[in-house]
Every structure is written in C-alpha cells, then in structure tokens.
Structure 1
C-alpha cells in the first residue's frame, strides 16, 4: 500500500527545495545585473575632467616621499568615478604663488582610469617654484582646481614595437603613466626601455615601483638610472645621459620604435641633439 503521508511529506520537501533553488537563481541574476550596470556606467562615463573649465578636487591624502617630494591623492566626485584621462595626456592644475598670483602648471597623474574614485600626483616642490609653493602649503581637505585632458599624445596599443624613454627628475611621471598602462594590459606586448636621470639617489622618484616593474616584467621593461652626484657605491650611470648610454639602453632606430623624452629644457635639447646624431628621425621622437 502507498504511504500517502510519506508521499505528501516528500512532495512538500521538494516544493521547498525548488523554492530555495529559484530564490538562489533570482539572487544570482540580480547580482549579475547589478555588476553589468555598474561596469556599463563606468565604461560610458566621460570622466570627471572638463577640457574647458577648471573643476575642484578634494585632497584626501598627502604622503611625503622625500625631503621635497610628496604624493597627493585627490577624490573624484563619486566613489565610482573615473578621471577620464587618456594615457599619454596630462592635466592643468591652478594655484597661487607666494605673492598670491595665479599659477597654472601641467602635471601627469601616476594613476590610470582603472583606479576608480581617485587620482594621484607626485610633485617635487622646488624652493623657488611658483606652483611648488601652492602644493607645499596645501593641506588635506583643501581643493585643487584642475582642467583637462591636455596634450598631443594619445597612446594606442600597438603604436610601437618598443619605446625608449629618457626622463629627468619629475619628467618620470608621464613615462610612469605610460609604462604602467602598457605592463598592466595583458593584450599589450610593447617593450619599454627607460633611462632615468637625477642628481642623487634620494631624487629618484617612484624607484620602488620602477624596480618592481623590472622584477615582474624582466623581458619587457628595463630601467637604467643615471646620477650626476652618485654615492661611492653605485652601479648605474654617472654624469649626464650620453649618446653611448642611449645606444646601449634604448632600442635602435627603426620605423616601429619611438623615443620619448621629458625633463628640464636643457636636458631635452641635449637629448634631441643626441637622438638626431644617432639616426632617430623626427617621427620617431616625441617630447612631453
């Protein structure tokens, strides 16, 4: 004989299991929809920048790097916001010098649009620098007027087989931005060769990050440090960047390579002369 009570019990348990299963499906579907909407909102965002008007961004964290250099983190309007800065471009920052006069200077963030909700600047504050005064006096909670994007270079994956980069001092920031974008993109196979010149070891900005790139991407990123006032024990270059250093540490002239340079005016001119003498055509060169 059939046990109707047992069948009834099994049927009730099956209904409960089905209800739990469908409830789980609904929860998963809702989660997927939320993630898709979130990602689409980021993708469709035009970014937080305005190319024509200055917008203010709040300084949320100031981190000293050396005696005259600090990292400044600025919050974007929403935690899901992106800055909207194409790789290879920069922003204009507005401040006041020691006499209260308005100053506008270009800076390249070391962050990318993959860094959601904030952007960071590494700034060296020179004793007599007009914009340096503004950053030196800036405190957490204050606002920085910013406008952008600006610049002639908009990097595209595959635009070069390899980059040779020659940077001096704070000229490392656009090189760092581009290098990070290349190395963090698994679809980008571009190689990077960086020559980075400074006065002393303490002046080398982002050294830990650059050394980490060299360790994690040994076949794609090379860095050669040059110091004009090295310590007694120093394995890098000494003096100023020479033609011989460029020959040894940058890719040789070819249609599919580009040489980028960014540094003080005197250094940029000297590097242009070296590159021309070494056979790098003007279309292979770019100055930030």
Structure 2
C-alpha cells in the first residue's frame, strides 16, 4: 500500500511539474510575441495614417510626419522598397503615387515623407492641402528590389531632385548597420544648392561615416561640389 501511494504521489508530482513547464513555455512565447513591433503596412489594402507634424523646409518642400498606431509600431517597409500614397488632385480626382519614406523601421512609432510639391503635380496638390490632423491613405510595400546587408562591396548611387529619398533610405540602412561594411558613393544632381533635399542629413552621414560614405553634389551652375572626407 505504501509503495502504491508513493507511486501515485510521484505521478502527481511529475504531472504538476509538466503543467508548470508548459505554463512557463506558453507564457514566454506570449511575452516574446507581445514584444514584437506591430507591422502596419498592408500590401493589398490602403490604411489611414494621421499627420502629426508638418515642417516646411523650403517654398516647395515639406517634411510630413505620420503617426503609427502604437509607439512601438513599425511601418514594415523592407530596405529598397516604397509605398503607394493615395490622394485627390485639384479636380477632386483620385491619384496614386509611389514615395519612399526617409525613416527606417528602427524609427518606431512613426514614418516621415520629404515631399517636393510641383505647381502642376496632381499628388503635389494633395500634399499642399494636407494639414496636421488629416489622414493619408498608404499601401505597401511595393517594388522588386530589396537590399540585403553585405550583398555588394561598393554601392554606387545617382539621384536627382526628389529622387534622393530611396537612395537616402538605402544609404542610411547600410551605414547605420555596424555589420554592413558596404561603401556608398552618391552623386546627387540639382538645379541649385538651395534645391538639395536632405542636405543636412546627408552631410551628417558623411561626417559620421566618413570612411564608408561619399556624396557629390552636381549643380547646374557649378560642375561638382564634394563633401567627401
């Protein structure tokens, strides 16, 4: 009788230990998964994001900051890809145009767009009218190219005007990754020095990562300005 009792007790103890282990594992999985940042982009459907800040950088360029649903949310945009933005032109007709955020998924809780607004641009009209508190319809990610850290030894880039944003996205992702030793050379063309978008940000990168990043400004009035060190 005593042996049967001890055997029953051992089974009960083992059962209790097994239940405890399962509970710990389930709790750990839940805790780990709950800490993963929420990805906000939907490749099939437009989602609305609130404009929380608008900075006018020049007479026709502004930086728009949009809030994500939570402070820990990420946009979920792979490096090298872009988003589609939907708005209305001056005639009230729907227009969709691709843009590349200047922020990365390391910038949690928000994403930013630097937009040059052209007088006759259909989507430019939508951004000119966009005020803090308004919402922008966004869908993505889009694009076939997706950068993988270390996939090339040297990355050569050529950009003009507002085409700097996808280059800036890739360059920043490379340079801010300590495990990516890729060197980046950027040639950036504009009409005048005042037209250079993200100039301060580019020159900050050139100073901070001088051994891996060189940027050259090509202007209509001046053949070539270099900010390489």
Is the contact between residue 69 and residue 123 of structure 1 (CA under 8 Å) also seen in structure 2? yes
CA contact (8 A) 1:42 1:82 kept: no
1:144 to 123, 136, 154: 136
Runs of 4+ in 1 over 2 A off after TM superposition: 39-45
| Gap regions ≥5 residues in structure 2 | 1-26
Corresponding position of 2:44: 52
2:89 pairs, out of 84, 90, 97, with: 97
Alignment RMSD (CA, Å): 2.0
1:25-104 counterparts in 2 under 5 A? 37=31, 40-41=33-34, 43=36, 45=38, 47-104=39-96
Deviation at 1:85, TM superposition (A): 0.4
Pairs aligned (count): 200
The answer to whether the aligner puts 1:157 opposite 2:146 as a matched pair is: no
TM-score if structure 2 supplies the norm length? 0.83
Contact 2:216/2:224 (8 A) holds in 1? no
Structure 2 partner of 1:212: 204
TM-score when normalising by structure 1: 0.66
| Structure 1, unpaired ranges of 5+ | 1-32, 238-248, 250-288
Residue of structure 2 aligned with 1:110, choices 102, 105, 116: 102
Higher RCO by CA contacts (8 Å cutoff, separation 6 or greater) = 2
The equivalent residue for 1:172 is: 164
CA distance in 2, matches of 1:76, 1:44: 11
Q: 1:217 to 1:40 in 2, by over 3 A?
A: farther
CA displacement at 1:235 relative to structure 2: 5.9
Q: Distance in 1 between matches of 2:49 and 2:198?
A: 23
Distance 1:219 1:115 in 2: 24
